[in-house]
Chain A
Amino acid sequence: MDTWKTRIDPQSPEFRENREGMLALISEIEAQLEVARAGGGERSVLRHKERGKLLVRERVELLLDRDSPFLELSPLAGWGTDFAVGGGFVTGIGLVSGVECVIAANDPTVMGGAITAISGKKIDRALEIARINRLPYIQFVESAGGDLRRGTDDPDAEMRRNLVHFAESGRLFHDITELSAERIPSVSIVFGSSTAGGAYQPGMSDYNIFIRGRSKVFLGGPPLVKMATGEDSDDEALGGAAMHATTSGLADYLADDEVEGIRMARSVIRHLNWRKLGPGPSLPADEPKYSAEELLGLLPVDLKRPMDIREVIGRITDGSRFEEFKPLYGTTLVTGWASIHGFPVGIIGNNGVLFSDSSEKAAQFIQLCNQTDVPIVFLQNITGYMVGKVYEHGGIVKNGSKMINAISNSKVPHITVIVGASYGAGNYGMSGKAFDTRFVFSWPTAKISIMGPKQLAGVMSLVRRGQARSSGREFDETEDAKQNAAVEDRAERESLALYATGRVADDGLIDPRDTRTVLAISLSACHSNVVRGTDRFGVFRM
């Protein structure tokens, strides 16, 4: 296999400037991570600790095998929304008793652990990752329940804007038991309240660990019971841990304290006799020849200068090895084989806009990976499919569709890293979030949107100009320039990596230097399930 030989000069002013820009973005992200880690804030954290409780991250750390890695998913979910950064919920993939598990944990210091639109998305995604990768699911339950807050200033307007209905909720209960049906175990540790609808979280789990004097699980609390039946009761009698362990049978294990509860969860996982179904790493896992540090200087923050994606590949693959497939054909797309921490992978990366030839090359390569059961890593830096008369005539829609057909029906695991641009259908064709991609991570330089902000503003301006012309109105150039700037500014902000990650449109932003590690953890997670390609694609339009 060929070893990549770098063509960049880490001493060049360009490289240094790129690096400075990237480091600035990373420190901005680090600052936001700090906000996320602070949970519900100092007072709330203090109150929680005073009750003798562990913080959510302390619980997670205690659950994990010592010295094992932990990949937190969407740690900045909620950024740029009305919800807390982090969404009051921690999800991730970690080792528990030697088994890779999905961990999903309420942070009770944030709004009492209430489930919000953001934490709901995180839970859904965590369950999806558990299901498609066949990872045992461990949830830490301590939640005030659903977020019942309602705005008061203009209820009618709010109702009109709100398109989410209660009847659409509750899918997570379906998903938990679906895991069980697929023989993927679910374990709940109930650290506190899990009442009303929340009671079904442990209710649907395979294994329940309750904590004496802490867990509280009932459909209706004492006030509701009083209202409904006139019966007097208290929390402990109604749904305390001891009651559930001795009387209702909802609790399988009764722990004396949180630490013991976590120990019990570790012990449950240990007895699963878990066997991964994928073949696991099979190739030499030597470090790349080039330092991961150099990933910081490859890409300008404004994405204005092109980058050879093979410079990224050469810094994440084992021994910097990369066997390129069709290197002379459809050269704006780079395809080839390599391994990451010993896991064989196909890599598809962008070196420019997608043309018909590069799209067809992708479709062929994806089929080959499916033939050989090799997972695919997508490295996105794509402004989209080429437009223009020549290209439309040349069947760019038809050929681009072949690529999207191939990635949609491909059954080998896809892992996508958005390193730069991710615009329009380019996002789809390069296995974007909506295409059952196992994992999607973004570099801080990622920009995701329907098209580039400048292009979007320009298109909108042209539309306005057209409308003015057809209605015979005079076109106000000053007003247009103002609108143009406003549209571009908003599009630019909406395209930023933080905006996407805040909406759980990816699985998290990563430091470019961590790319290889994140891919390794993701690939290893994928190998928990069968790694098997498909031989059934949609009809390729010829």
Chain B
Amino acid sequence: MPPIKRLLVANRGEIARRVFRTCREMGISTVAVYAEPDADAPFVREADIAVALGGTTSAETYLDGAKIIAAARTSGADAIHPGYGFLSENDGFARAVIEAGLIWVGPHPEAIAAMGDKLSAKARLAPAGVPMLPSVDASGLSAEELAAKAQEIGYPVLVKASGGGGGRGMRIVEEEGGLTNAVSSARREAKSAFGNDTVFLERYLESSRHVEVQVFGDKHGNVVHCFERECSIQRRHQKVIEEAPSSAVNVDLRRRMGEAAVAAAFAMGYDNAGTVEFMLDASSTFYFLEMNTRLQVEHPVTEAITGLDLVGEQIRVAEGCHLSFAQDDLRINGHAIEARLYAEDPEKNFFPVSGAVVQFEPSASNSVRVDSGIESGSVVSIYFDPMLAKLTAHAQTREDAAMRLASALSQLRISGLVTNRDFLVNTLRHPAFLAGNTTTEFIEQHEPARRRVPEDGELVFALLAAALTGSAARAREQGVLRGVQSGWRNNRSGLETARYTFREEEFAVGYARERDGSLTCTVGEASHRVRLFDAPEGHATLEIDGLRRTAAVLTRESETWVQTPHGEIALREVPRFPEAAREAVASGYAAPMPGKVISVHIAAGEAVKTGELLIVLEAMKMEHRITAGSDATVAEVRVTAGGQVEAGEVLLVMEGESVG
């Protein structure tokens, strides 16, 4: 096959940038394709050529193989790299790429197809000697038969979708009673998620680890493995922290797992990068889970400890070259840990969040690699995966790698939306993690704190830094009397105040400048002596009661983010004048005239139907019945029976109504 001259990445974000980086090093021209929400994304800008796919959702864009192949034609690309996710494990797309005369940077479509379904993969690989847990296809089984099979396997039993991944269509069943429901709900979920409702039963291994082996094959029959990665730290069945090597794998086990993985790949005639995933139980016995026929998100940890460029190897192998290394050439150098930074709220069960990244600035460090798809000003849309960045630390020992990664995460500047940063730091510094006690139940079992508790004085510093930075900004914007000392009074009646909320708590900050240039400040009830020093742009240097600190401070409208050495403190300023002072409420729910409340027929939280009686007022000796103008839920009732109301007074507010 001819060498690749121009490569199109059928993906987005960090993986597109990752592939482009190697392409640039190899002298290969790059092509990006993008959905509308990604039009301003760095990966689009960094590609030599970018082609708009025209559309917003994944289905309209990164999952539309025809559009991508057309984009490859228009842009003159001769190869397609699928990245991970999207079409990377779609054998039909791989075939279409090859049929279009393009080079597919991935394994041959038959391997993809065979591994795509878990049941068929198990059937295919068991004869090659890959250790398997016994599993039972639930298709067509009656409730009794299912119960009998489950009994055979032994509880707890895992119900899994054959065509799925990412935890969807998966249920753990502790005892027989829950089995039927679990199977039917798993089927429904699998059907809607993957269009395939085949589920199977398997023994559920408690206290097991997720250990996977990176394999690599070429078109000349060579298959090697590049050691294991452990990806046990998962939330919502998705990996968040991955490492290589695994602390639970010794030389012997590594050899055995490697051989099993190579055997699996060899059985498939595997000819590119792939990953064989295993469950490793407490007794160091491992079982095949599935095979991923693509580059993994967590490939950087393998690159760190082996020194390989897996993407470069993928491209060379796709071009038809021999693998550039043999099994014996590979050595493990130190330890690498990767953490995935997500826009998600750990306190709300890691629920994804969207919004603007006001600032993204990874801390500079030679030992931490940052792969990210975003930059300051990027918007995390609701359409795609909310992963912001991957940070990979490499050190000689696991402890060092964990510490470096935790520090890099704390010092990373990521402002504007809620992330799992503090949770990741707390996990990396957790004694159980450092002790290597990592199983897939780690988060539930050890419960690393989901958020950070600021250190003593840190919050006070952040509040004062925010208030005084705001004050300085206002002084700069003041159009007249610019040189006059900020907040000057000849008869001072109080301190200038600013109020902030930190999480759910509100803090009042007061400050006044003294003649000697120092400030008298208060935070809540406590009083502080503060000196303000010149600081570089975007920073504040404050000495509070003798302790001097400098931190980056960023303010956008009412929000301020203070980056201390320990992480970020996000503050929201409470406006001086509440915007919602005047309430716009449907007229039916305000008193039409002054009167007395006779009776209240609803309570907050209740749903009401159009025409339903809400409140009875008496005015001018007449009863006025306030009834619901539309179906709605009552958010707030502001009056009680017997009370007096004025004309126009708000009686009750419905949910979703404007109060601004």
Q: Which one of B475, B478, B479, B490 has the highest number of Cβ atoms from chain A below 10 Å of its Cβ? A: B490
Determine whether A180 belongs to the interface, using a CB cutoff of 8 Å to chain B: no
Give B583's nearest chain A residue, CB to CB.
A256
Give B472's nearest chain A residue, CB to CB.
A67
Known: A62-B576, A256-B582, A510-B490. A69 touches B474 (CB 8 A): no
Please give the distance in Å from B466's CB to the nearest CB on chain A.
13
Determine whether B487 belongs to the interface, using a CB cutoff of 8 Å to chain A: yes
- Residues on the B chain within 8 Å of A268, using CB: none
A472 to B493, CA, bound (A): 62
Known: A72-B489, A98-B479, A521-B481. A57 touches B581 (CB 8 A): no
Q: Is the CB of A259 within 8 A of B494?
A: no
Q: Is the CB of A65 within 8 A of B474?
A: yes
Q: Is the CB of A66 within 8 A of B471?
A: yes
Please give the distance in Å from A10's CB to the nearest CB on chain B.
16
Known: A95-B478, A513-B515. A68 touches B581 (CB 8 A): no
Give B647's nearest chain A residue, CB to CB.
A242
Determine whether A33 belongs to the interface, using a CB cutoff of 8 Å to chain B: yes
CB-contacts of B477-497 with A (<8 A): 478-491, 493-494, 496
Q: How many residues of B contact A (CB 8 A)?
A: 30
Determine whether B656 belongs to the interface, using a CB cutoff of 8 Å to chain A: no
- Residues on the A chain within 8 Å of B646, using CB: 213, 242
Q: Which one of B471, B481, B578 has the highest number of Cβ atoms from chain A below 10 Å of its Cβ? A: B481
A107 to B578, CA, bound (A): 25
Q: Is the CB of B515 within 8 A of A67?
A: no
Q: Is the CB of A68 within 8 A of B481?
A: yes
Q: Is the CB of B481 within 8 A of A95?
A: yes
Determine whether A260 belongs to the interface, using a CB cutoff of 8 Å to chain B: yes
A62 to B582, CA, bound (A): 18
Contact of A37 among B479, B493, B576, B582 (CB under 8 A): B493
Contact of A259 among B478, B581, B647 (CB under 8 A): B581
- Residues on the B chain within 8 Å of A520, using CB: 481, 483-484
A511 to B489, CA, bound (A): 11
Known: A100-B480, A260-B581, A341-B483. A66 touches B489 (CB 8 A): no
Contacts between the two chains (Cβ within 8 Å), count = 98
Q: How many residues of A contact B (CB 8 A)?
A: 45
Q: Is the CB of B478 within 8 A of A68?
A: yes
Q: Is the CB of A61 within 8 A of B484?
A: no
- Residues on the A chain within 8 Å of B479, using CB: 98
Q: Is the CB of B494 within 8 A of A521?
A: no
- Residues on the A chain within 8 Å of B647, using CB: 242
A58 to B491, CA, bound (A): 13
Determine whether A375 belongs to the interface, using a CB cutoff of 8 Å to chain B: no
A69 to B475, CA, bound (A): 10
- Residues on the B chain within 8 Å of A293, using CB: 515
Known: A57-B494, A69-B487, A341-B483. A259 touches B577 (CB 8 A): yes
Known: A69-B485, A513-B515, A520-B481. A57 touches B490 (CB 8 A): no
Q: Is the CB of A341 within 8 A of B491?
A: no
Give A240's nearest chain B residue, CB to CB.
B646
Contact of A71 among B480, B490, B493, B496 (CB under 8 A): B490
Known: A66-B474, A66-B496, A67-B475. A514 touches B490 (CB 8 A): yes
A75 to B493, CA, bound (A): 12
Please give the distance in Å from A477's CB to the nearest CB on chain B.
48
A72 to B489, CA, bound (A): 8
Q: Is the CB of B484 within 8 A of A67?
A: no
Q: Which one of B475, B478, B493 has the highest number of Cβ atoms from chain A below 10 Å of its Cβ? A: B493
- Residues on the A chain within 8 Å of B489, using CB: 69-70, 72
Determine whether A192 belongs to the interface, using a CB cutoff of 8 Å to chain B: no
Q: Is the CB of A75 within 8 A of B490?
A: yes
Q: Is the CB of B485 within 8 A of A517?
A: yes
Please give the distance in Å from A330's CB to the nearest CB on chain B.
33
- Residues on the A chain within 8 Å of B483, using CB: 285, 341-342, 520
Chain A 488-512 interface 0/1 with B at a Cβ cutoff of 8 Å (1 = within): 0000000000000000000010110
Determine whether A465 belongs to the interface, using a CB cutoff of 8 Å to chain B: no
A66 to B509, CA, bound (A): 13
Determine whether A226 belongs to the interface, using a CB cutoff of 8 Å to chain B: no
Known: A98-B480, A524-B481. A263 touches B577 (CB 8 A): yes
- Residues on the A chain within 8 Å of B648, using CB: 242
- Nearest 5 interchain pairs by C-beta: A69-B488, A57-B493, A263-B577, A260-B581, A75-B491
A-B contacts besides A65-B478, A67-B475, 5 pairs, CB < 8 Å:
A67-B474, A100-B480, A280-B480, A342-B483, A518-B490
Interface of A toward B, CB cutoff 8 Å = 33, 36-37, 57-58, 61-62, 65-72, 75, 95, 98, 100, 213, 242, 255-257, 259-260, 262-263, 266, 276, 280, 285, 293, 341-342, 508, 510-511, 513-514, 517-518, 520-521, 524
